[in-house]
Structure 1
Amino acid sequence: MSDLVDPETDPAPRRGTDRTNFQHLADADPIAVRDPLAELLGVVPEGDPLVVGFPEVVLAAGHACPAVAGAYRATQLALNDLYPDDLPVRSDIAVEVGGEPDDHGLGPMANVVSHVTGADRETGFTGFGGYGGRENLLSFTDLDGPGRTFAFHRLDTDDSVRVSFAPGAVGMSPPGEDGGSVTDLIPKLVAGEASDAERRRFYDQWHNRVQRVLRAAPGDDSPFTLRHPEH
């Protein structure tokens, strides 16, 4: 007898197995990138982009948080700056991450950047005879900047831009009705002691903050800063 559940007789059929049942998901513009390898292998027509959306990044990370949103938005801002008139091209983008992989939250942020740009560490795909390779295009190093800083380098033009993300910037962490921070509820949530009202409050504030990050533009009171290093 098969161990598979019969959906017609199972008293508690599984839900959401055909797609992710997002309960909360912030809205963000997708990022389109060309992938020479995808074109070479016929995954997409030549010249057509792969379109990466925030939901895919959330699925890869397993959660949505200000850090994941910040890495997504930082990548988006950098690519918009480096490619004002063209689609970004994977394997032509190198990224330096300011810090160490085990710095709090930085490893997952680097994974988001890699997911979008294709730039990877020594475990990245080497390509076909070097074509479309991504290995050693992402590295961790010391970078100056407010908050988490990423340096994006366009290999075909030698243009670079640094994007810094400071989630504690003014206006990015609105307090709750009682004046407390949304993070104050995390210990109760983890312990399973939060009330339904507290859970709703946490979800609303948490995902509101994620949304603010995804919509933020560089400027005064912004969590994002863009700089162009001198060659």
Structure 2
Amino acid sequence: MSDTAPDPTSSTVLDSDPTPWQRLADADPIEVRDPLAELLGMVPEGEPLVVRFPEVAKSAGHACPAVAGAYRATQLALAELYPDELPVRSQVAVTVGGSPDDHGLGPMAAAIRQITGAADETGFKGLAGVGGRQDLLSFGDVPGDGRAFEFARTDTDEAVRVAFDPAATGVDPDEGGGQPMEMIPRIVGGEASAEERERFYQTWHDRVQSVLRAPAGPETPFSVERV
């Protein structure tokens, strides 16, 4: 038996993952700088950390339009705030429009936190003044259709609002989610056939993928505006 532990980043380990992440393969990764990671030698100075949607979905425990919407909203916001440089963790403050107990907002806020590092009062305070995340994420009033978020650079005070309208994807959280949510009780109850389950999986992941690919603009789920 080898004494060498497997490299969790190796293609062998990743390829052995039985979860069908290939359905989400077209989600572009998000690169960020993390001064704390650089300080502690996790990455060389100036080199990015790469966050991928499968990692965010695994942390959430599922891939759904809400988690995908948070991922894509964050991606669009950071691209607008940092057009010519890498986004910097601990320099992005986020306001989530609504209350923590609003449907879907908890998982969405957690996804945004994973990408940006922005955290509530439970966040890391920093080390020697570097990498603090505490009190950079809050819930409040953010104008916009559907789920709205405000991202602000603490170093320049530039800010953008990104709105994600779940109804544009066929998912209305205030109306029970719509199709394919109606199939879930049959699956949970063991009443769905194998064909019905596979059709549900495909429809579900196609919807997630459509969110991850969506641009910002008219007749899309996303809008981006400077504050």
Residue 187 of structure 1 corresponds to 185
In 2: Cα distance, 1:193 partner to 1:199 partner: 10
In 1: Cα distance, 2:20 partner to 2:192 partner: 18
Aligned-pair CA distance for 1:226: 0.8
Please, which moves more after superposition, 81-90 or 186-195?
Answer: 186-195
Deviation readout 1:43-69 (Å, 9 max, x if unpaired): 000000100000110110010000000
- Segments of 5+ residues of structure 2 without an aligned counterpart are 1-12, 172-177
Residue 218 of structure 1 corresponds to 216
1:21–1:166: structure 2 CA closer, same or farther, 3 Å change rule?
Answer: same
**SS at the partner of 1:55?**
helix
Is 1:22 equivalent to 2:19 in the alignment? yes
Match runs of 1:58-97 below 5 Å: 58-97=57-96
Q: Taking every aligned residue pair, what percent have the same amino acid on both sides?
A: 61
**Equivalent of residue 196 in structure 1, options 172, 175, 194:** 194
Q: Which amino acid aligns with 1:183?
A: M
Q: Please tell me whether Structure 1 or Structure 2 has the larger radius of gyration of its CA atoms.
A: 1
**TM-score (norm: length of structure 1):** 0.86
**TM-score (norm: length of structure 2):** 0.87
Report runs of 4+ in structure 1 exceeding 6 Å deviation: none
In 1: Cα distance, 2:79 partner to 2:20 partner: 30
**SS at the partner of 2:94?**
strand
In 1: Cα distance, 2:17 partner to 2:124 partner: 28
**SS at the partner of 2:207?**
helix
Equivalent residues, number: 207
**SS at the partner of 1:79?**
helix
The alignment's C-alpha RMSD in Å is 1.7
Residue 156 of structure 1 corresponds to 155
Match runs of 1:99-138 below 5 Å: 99-138=98-137
Q: Which amino acid aligns with 1:206?
A: W
In 2: Cα distance, 1:123 partner to 1:130 partner: 17
**SS at the partner of 1:168?**
helix
Aligned-pair CA distance for 1:39: 0.3
In 2: Cα distance, 1:17 partner to 1:157 partner: 39
In 1: Cα distance, 2:190 partner to 2:126 partner: 47
Aligned-pair CA distance for 1:144: 1.4
**SS at the partner of 2:187?**
helix
